[in-house]
Each structure stands twice: as C-alpha cells, then as structure tokens.
Amino acid sequence: MRKSKGGAEADEVPADKSARARILETATELFYREGIRAVGIDTIIARSGVAKMSLYRNFASKDDLVVAFLKYRDGIYWQWWDHVMAAHPDDAARQISDLFASLTRRVSSPHYRGCPFINTSTEFPDSDHPARAVCRANKRELRRRLLDLARRTGARDPEGLADQLLLLMEGAYASAQNFPVRSPAPSLQGAAEALLAAQLGRQARRPVRRDARVFSP
C-alpha cells in the first residue's frame, strides 16, 4: 500500500510552549494536511519534539486528540465567521456577499485541503465515533447562522435560502480537491447573490416537483 511521504523529523513548534500546546498544534497541522488515519502518534511526537508519555498524559487516546483538534478548528472557524460578519453588522445581504467572497479566497489557497469536519466525517463513517459529534455540531451551528442571515435579508423562504447557501458552501469545500487547474470557486459569490436575489424578487419561484423515473444501479 502506497504511503504518504513522511516529512522532516525535526522540531517545527517552538519549544517554549507547553507540551500540550505543541502536541495540539502539530496534530492540527498534520491531521488537516495529511489526514487523521494517515498520521500516527509517533509522527506527531517526533514533529512536536515531545515524549510519547507527554502526549498520553495530556490526551487519553488518539481519538481524544482528534476531538481536541476538531474543537480547535471549530473555534478558528467561528472566529473567522465573526470577523467577516463584523464589517457590516446591520446589512445581512452584504454580510452574505462578504461571506462568500471571503470563502472564495479561503478555498482558493494552494494549501487548502477542504473542510476538516467534512474530511473527518469521511475518514470515520461510523457516526457514533466521538469525532463525528463535533463535526455535526459545527454544521448544525453553520446552518443556524445561515438561517439567521437569511431571515434578516427578508427572504421569502429563509429556511430554503439558508439551505441553498449551505449547499453552496459545502460544495466549495468539497470541490477544493479535484479541480487543480481551474477552480469553480470564482462562481461561488455570484451563485450566492443570485439565490438571494431570487428570494427578494417579486415572482414566486417554486421548485418544480417532477416524478422522474427512479434509477438504482
């Protein structure tokens, strides 16, 4: 089985921080960049310049470290969100535009490796895995905040708009991996604005329900 190439073994985290902080930072970096299953405990301790027992004294297990990694990323995520929202607190439409503009930049970075919560959910299909609870909580909160935004725009169907925007965001995250030459991300902001505009216009545009034939290969 082809393995991911291992990186340098030298310390990459300043040694003046606590062992716990060094471990968490290193794990966050490695788990995000190379995947959780692909990164072993030995790699984390080597890269953070920490003894193995220091890891297991601070985290009960690798799963526990994974949960800590996700909670750390969750914090960063809402920090980013709040920062974007703060620019125009009373203009929800503008906040949506800003959100998708910032998201476009975020997912267009060459180092971008997708949403850690989606990625982790893929790596651990068992929805009872402790990490999955953190992933679900992040997405639930994302949906809640999008609904709040949608309501404040005065959209005709705020729940529907929120879910449409949610789908766009998830699509931006997921498509970051497989379009190396020309990312679809630049179309993101236009899509969000078109969906919002469609909900603010006069004519009621209801989705057409059609009974297409079922196909299950």
Partner DNA sequence: ACTGATAGAGACAGGTCTGTCTCATTGTCA
Partner DNA sequence: TGACAATGAGACAGACCTGTCTCTATCAGT
Site residues (vs DNA, CB under 7 A): 1, 3, 15, 18-20, 39-43, 49-54, 56-58, 61-63
Chain center to CA of 216? 31
Q: Measured between alpha carbons, how far is 118 from 136 in angstroms, rounded to an integer?
A: 9
Closest approach, Cβ 173 to DNA, in A, equals: 25
Length of the chain: 217
The answer to the question of residue 186 lying near a copy of itself (CB under 8 A) is yes
163 three-state secondary structure: helix
Closest approach, Cβ 12 to DNA, in A, equals: 13
The structure tokens listed for 85 are 């929202």
Exactly one of 8, 10, 204, 210 binds a copy of itself (CB under 8 A); that residue is: 210
The answer to the question of residue 76 lying near a copy of itself (CB under 8 A) is yes
Token pair 């906040």 in the structure block, residue: 95
Token pair 């974007």 in the structure block, residue: 84
From 145, 133, 144, select the one nearest 67 (Cα to Cα): 133
**DSSP state, 214?**
P
Query: Considering only residues 138-157, where is the footprint of a copy of itself by CB under 8 A?
Result: 138-140, 143
**145 contact choice in DNA, a copy of itself, none (CB below 5 to 8 Å, kind-dependent):** none
Closest approach, Cβ 37 to a copy of itself, in A, equals: 5
Exactly one of 15, 53, 91, 127 binds a copy of itself (CB under 8 A); that residue is: 127
Report the residue number, 57 or 83, with the smaller CB distance to a copy of itself.
83
Q: Measured between alpha carbons, how far is 115 from 107 in angstroms, rounded to an integer?
A: 9
Report the residue number, 12 or 34, with the smaller CB distance to a copy of itself.
34
